[in-house]
Amino acid sequence: MLWNNKFELAESTLKKKASSHPRYSLHHAETIFLRSFITADVNDTEQALARLKDTREMAETYIKYLDSNKLPPSSNLILKSKEDFKNSLLDCKIVLGDSLYMIAVLQLTRDYKFKGCFNMRRSWKTFEDALSQVKDGHKYNEQLLECLHFGVGFFLYAMSIIPQKFLRLVEFVGFKADREQGMQYIKHCGTNGGIRAPFANMVLLFNNLLLPRGLYNPTKHLREAELVIQDNMKRYPEGSLFQVMASHCYRKQCRIEEGLACMVKALDNCATFQRPPLIYSYELANCYVIMLDWPKAIEVFERLVKEESFQIRALCGLQLASCYFACGLRSKGEEALSKVKSFAKRSSSVEPICVRQAARYAQNGGYFSAFEIMYIRRDLAKMEKGNAERVLEALQQTASKLSVLNPIPIPTTASSSGNSFFSKAWSFGQSKKGSEATLSTCGSTSEMLNDRIAYMMMRGATLKSMDRIDEALTCFEEVVKLHPHAIEKFYYPYCLYEMSESHFHRKNHEQTLEYLKRCNAISGYDWEDPLKIRLRVTMDQIKKDGASVGDDWGEEDLQSDSRSTQ
């Protein structure tokens, strides 16, 4: 029922025993836990947290009784043998471990770092206890063992991808992430067809489609994902979750029209819902953005920013403004930017970034904003060749309008620091009035340099997506040269990473490592977490492949992102 979009029917079925059986309680909570990621609704997240906490308390209570060979009061368990007690005790431990990491996931996504890490630690200790129990020589129910392996596998996998600044709070108790072992458990559960199979397949798809691939060619992972998607769309024809994953898969293969069709199908399958899931509409809008169909994207974003409970409302507001700018609707874009701050929620770590970027675009006119957001989302890397050519043309037209199409001499009086007089004067006292602005003052010179940096960064990224590596490197090298004069700080680390990938494609492995190290040493910039996750995956690949990273790239370097202020 759950995977066929019948959420209400699934809830009502599970609710019958949710107050007297820990496993029913867990799956009853999971229905809204899963739904909260579909709707991105604050109220759903709060309700999911409340249910999961009830499940945690029930599991803890049952474990105490079963450990003493007693039946919990008010339970409907029928336990006639020692094996029954052992299986029930194991089940309650698995439920406790699952509920704890789900609570932690929701807390971390809401930026409750310490609470989330504390519950992650408790979850792992519970799974350790469960793993120890199944070694006692008794024969346990195979479905329970599969649930245990999924819980352990999910935990090991999740710990291998979260930003180091969270992970180090967990690692101090001795836990070490193991992505490979985690994926082995998850793949086994996915192919076994048990109750955890669709969850396992969804984690596998997340790994293959949404987790950065680092330096690896994604073709194998995309093909593996496509096979899993096709199988599950047959199993759950009325569902939407695998349609959404299919959209991501096709978009990464530059099959944008097919990706758009899957998002439309995902929304069609939600016809019985009171309203379409907001996150699906958000993904649909981004399909239109990748196709450079700004009017259709605007239409969806305009609806989304009216949803007060939507957790990424501020991001939608930022993207709406960027689409207005791409269409030349400057007054509407400026008005949309002015509302982003009011959309932001304190519980999200992304919202402050959206507010800062909105303020920056309000000052510099947001001329490259649509392409910058597409770049951060990695959508520039998913474009069909024809659309990529259109992006290059649009970038060139904008750069020409701003008089930054050609290199700009750096003023000799400009400081090599990003906090130079020019940067301060521009950021606090200047605003862009349009293409007719006079470009002779100090502030405007700084503004032109920053526009030039934005143009070259976006141009380089687009050229790289088209495998025009030499041309892309020329752009990135100029960004590195100009970065001391940049007001926006995320260009530099992202540019270093792009250069590392570019050199990897040219088989210049020494340069690849050099730029990775330089990139990893930087912290405290907007949009840092996505890049840090990409870096972590890339470094894991280098270690796994046995590449020498040199004595100067030690554990402290690998964990330098823990010093991030984001």
pLDDT tens-digit series, residues 495-506: 999 999 999 888
Q: Which of 75-79, 95-99, 142-146, 525-529 has the lowest mean pLDDT?
A: 75-79
Q: Which residue has the higher pLDDT, 346 or 186?
A: 186
Torsion angles phi and psi, residue 441, rounded to 5: -85, 165
Asked whether 93 and 64 are in contact (CB, 8 A), the reply is no
Which residues 6+ apart lie within 8 Å of 76 measured at CB? 17, 20, 21
Question: What percentage of the chain reaches a pLDDT higher than 90?
Answer: 61
pLDDT band at 314 (very low <50, low <70, confident <90, very high): very high
Question: Cα(48)–Cα(34) distance, rounded to whole angstroms?
Answer: 9
> CA–CA distance from 81 to each of 44, 72, 89, 253, 317 (Å)?
40, 15, 12, 54, 60
Mean pLDDT of 335-342: 97
Which of 125, 5, 112 is closest to 49 using CA atoms? 112
Strand partners, 41: 310
- What is residue 310's three-state secondary structure? strand
Question: What percentage of the chain reaches a pLDDT higher than 70?
Answer: 86
Residue 559 has pLDDT above 60, yes or no: no
Question: Cα(56)–Cα(37) distance, rounded to whole angstroms?
Answer: 20
Asked whether 266 and 240 are in contact (CB, 8 A), the reply is yes
pLDDT at 557: 37
- Summarised one tens digit per residue, pLDDT across range 199-208 is 999 999 998 9
Question: Cα(527)–Cα(33) distance, rounded to whole angstroms?
Answer: 26
Question: Cα(360)–Cα(490) distance, rounded to whole angstroms?
Answer: 13
Asked whether 81 and 62 are in contact (CB, 8 A), the reply is no
> CA–CA distance from 517 to each of 247, 289, 510, 552, 565 (Å)?
34, 33, 11, 9, 19
Mean pLDDT of 368-381: 94
Residue 375 has pLDDT above 90, yes or no: yes
pLDDT band at 423 (very low <50, low <70, confident <90, very high): very low
Helix segments in 291-438, DSSP class H = 294-304, 313-326, 330-343, 351-364, 369-376, 385-401, 421-429
Q: Which residues of 126-146 are buried (b: 16+ CB within 10 A; e: fewer)?
A: bbeebeeebeeeeebeeebbb
Question: Cα(505)–Cα(112) distance, rounded to whole angstroms?
Answer: 39
Which of 280, 209, 219, 216 is closest to 249 using CA atoms? 209
Contacts by 186-189, CB closer than 8 A, 24 or more apart: 186/150, 186/153, 186/154, 186/157, 188/146, 188/149, 188/153, 189/146, 189/149, 189/150, 189/153
Mean pLDDT of 310-318: 94
Q: Tokens at residue 95, please? A: 């439920």
Q: Tokens at residue 105, please? A: 């996931």
Asked whether 114 and 122 are in contact (CB, 8 A), the reply is no
> CA–CA distance from 563 to each of 158, 165, 170, 207 (Å)?
21, 7, 16, 26
- Summarised one tens digit per residue, pLDDT across range 1-40 is 989 999 889 999 999 999 999 999 999 999 998 888 777 7
pLDDT band at 444 (very low <50, low <70, confident <90, very high): low
Question: Cα(533)–Cα(29) distance, rounded to whole angstroms?
Answer: 29
Global pTM value:
0.79
Question: Cα(229)–Cα(246) distance, rounded to whole angstroms?
Answer: 6
Asked whether 100 and 122 are in contact (CB, 8 A), the reply is yes
Per DSSP (E only), the strands in 245-301 are none
pLDDT at 205: 95
Residue 187 has pLDDT above 70, yes or no: yes
Q: Which of 157-171, 269-283, 342-356, 362-376 has the lowest mean pLDDT?
A: 157-171
Question: Cα(261)–Cα(108) distance, rounded to whole angstroms?
Answer: 33
Mean pLDDT of 166-182: 66
pLDDT at 476: 98
